[in-house]
Amino acid sequence: MIRLGTPTALLLAGITTTVNGHADQAISVRDGWTGALDYVLTGVELATDTGGSSGVDSLALPAVFDVTIAQLPAAASVTAAYLYWGGSQADSACAGSGDDTVLFGVPGIAAESVTADVCYCSDSDSPGYDIWICSADVTPLYERSGATHIGSHSVDGYSGLIANSATDCAAAALFLVGSGGGLPGTTVALHDGIATQLSGTQNYSFSGFNASAATGSLSFFALEGDVGGSEGESVSVNGAPGAPGP
């Protein structure tokens, strides 16, 4: 997330890291909001390493994660909510839709089946796997009687290629925009897509927001086979004007 300017927030969702792949969907603006609001990007791994081999070998479902009042006030109303999920799948040259349906649990109501509005795929140029990422607008779930954004959320019913390979991965992320509840004036920009990175540095440019002051935050969702990440990985932000930041 970048919160720049008044302040402005930018969510970059849907970066995947694979080997010998290519970017199949340019990361571009999906939606944006301005007003007395804030956002949170949180999530959970859907697979785990049970054998201590630094590669995931089992799905870990249901996967549970929390949204707290420290992240978004309880008095805020959910203006928008997007669920992202994905990971490695058996190679199909990006045919089909990956696993485009999961069971999503919102605090206060029973879990419901969610089908993706869109799925993106990267054919990794490997005969063994593709990387898929799917997303769905889940705002209506927070409008159900008894539903709340504060508390434990869950993702279940996901299936993917999880077989202890160095490129196997699975994760989910929830992006929430809340309004009211005493929140300050903010602009939030949501970008998504799929971009495959192999070593080196990859640059992305974003638009759709104005930055008039030196305050901001950037959040991003990445899928990667390395348990705990790889040494030397980092993200920097260049403003215009402004020097690169951490």
63-82: pLDDT as tens digits: 999 999 999 999 999 999 99
For residue 103, what are the domain limits? Answer: 41-178
- Of 224, 233, 170, 160, give the one whose Cα is nearest residue 21: 224
Q: What total number of domains does the chain contain?
A: 1
Instruction: Report yes or no on 34 lying in a domain.
Output: no
Instruction: Report yes or no on 161 lying in a domain.
Output: yes
94-150: pLDDT as tens digits: 887 789 999 999 999 999 999 999 999 988 667 788 999 999 999 999 999 999 999
- Taking the model in full, what pTM does it have? 0.86
- Of 156, 84, 141, 139, give the one whose Cα is nearest residue 107: 141
Q: What backbone torsions phi and psi does residue 225 show, to the nearest 5 degrees?
A: -80, -20
Q: Could you give the strand order of the β-sheet that contains 112-115, starting from the edge strand earlier in sequence?
A: 63-67, 151-156, 101-105, 112-115
Instruction: Report yes or no on 2 lying in a domain.
Output: no
CB of 45 within 8 A of CB of 85? no
Instruction: Report yes or no on 126 lying in a domain.
Output: yes
